Structure 1
């Protein structure tokens, strides 16, 4: 007699063994969420890599890009920005050259690195990027023919400039030329003060970290060149002031060899250096080419400033086609001013190095 108790199959339930196999298959199957980075996946819990600067930066060095961006935020004039761009390009060139020297072990005493640090400090002070309100440059175009609203910040220079303006001995072009000489002199004084401040900090640091037995020898080795550089700069500043005083009283004579302040400085140094007559004549010819390059650079700076003023005027009317053409012209002039500015800085550095080597050979 068959049992009346229903079996497992009669209830419609699967047998135990197939159910166990099904569970094992489900556990071994990969879930989509895991493959796409779930809540506890490695991808979700690893820190994100730091954001990288876009490759379209003006400079290859991050710190120089930061200075460039800061200058743009300060809304320096187009001429000042073009000059800063040239200075930063030169700084970058020198820093990469120093890194190569360092890799070859050729800057063991750190003098080249110290010069680069001082050079960057001068740039910061020159363009008001060092955070000091008293060193920030006036946002003006020094090439302007009307400099009555500009100030020099030195009572002695202000007095000389006022005397020259009211003497009647200068034409408008000569006054613009004299104003560039005053600006150049002021820049040299600013650079001297920055270097003097850097030297004072260096001496304080050496006093604190160097033992008394070594202090004398290290100071003589490390600071001697800095003191010599400052002494040489001060001598040129005093000589430059004497020249400004003479020109302000007498006017420009027809016998002037050069007109640009930087070229005048180089020629004065060359005449007192250890050049032969043939070398001095060759240097004179090169200075003439250099002065022509500076004049071309000044021309593009002037055009850049005019283009900037026109662009602001056109933008106020909203003529998109006219604005677009003005922007293209401004961008082209800006690029040319930057390019020429860098070439002028590099040429000036090369000429200064030649004169410096000749003067040292004489010593």
Structure 2
């Protein structure tokens, strides 16, 4: 890796730091990497249009969240590799375990607005809001009685959030920190998804292998999917095709067409050991990625295409954590030990 800037992405407060990095030679290694000064536990591209030419990205370490923008050479010929610009470092009382972006985050209007929520081991949800100048606010939401596994914002207006936990609940919150709805689950909740084309439904995946869709108006379950095995570790609702749902369970990935059956349409082995994450590409309904379970000495990133019997890309990363896709490129990122690793898929 050739570093075009000797500045690093580090944890003290920084207003704006720009870093440019180049492509690595190794075919199985990351296309691009950005160094960090701590272990990265979670990383998320914003799935929403922030009005900026660059993409918003946030990553969380042991006691902080770094928010910045990314531009890649695939979208700007003046960039060599990836250019990461730090906008702000938010200090966080505990290790960041989950993070979700608000659709209200905007960089093209004044005052600018950055809003996201996090979860940590103290079982609390934190809502962080900043104008990237002098106004910063943190709201703490209490209610979960065990570890929080996943968070999501309502994707159209961003006035609500949902969280799932080992306490067998999915909870919906407003921006004032009030718990507005609670769904009782039959096992730990591992994933929660809110689709912009179906904002009155919430998809909740449970560890025992069941995925349910809840109607937020009637507060009733209206559809359920069954993996046929457990543990289900991660599930995602396809952004570009609302009838597709995917998950990893055991060491396999599974895909449903929710209009056809409550059982998976496709199922294939993915990882030698237990799989950890499943995420759909945001630009291609047939493209998705899985990772091995975080905490292993080496965790593979696999990119799959439903038209191909084998993974279309295999990336090796040391102890990867988190998984997120770029909103307009076939590119995904994972965190790890003192770096972000980006993989571009040539499709």
Q: Same fold (TM over 0.5)?
A: no
Q: TM-score, structure 1 length as denominator?
A: 0.29
By relative contact order (CA 8 Å, sep 6+), the higher-ranking structure is 1
Query: Is the radius of gyration larger for structure 1 or structure 2?
Result: 1
- Higher percent of residues as helix: 1
Determine which structure has the larger strand proportion and give its number.
2
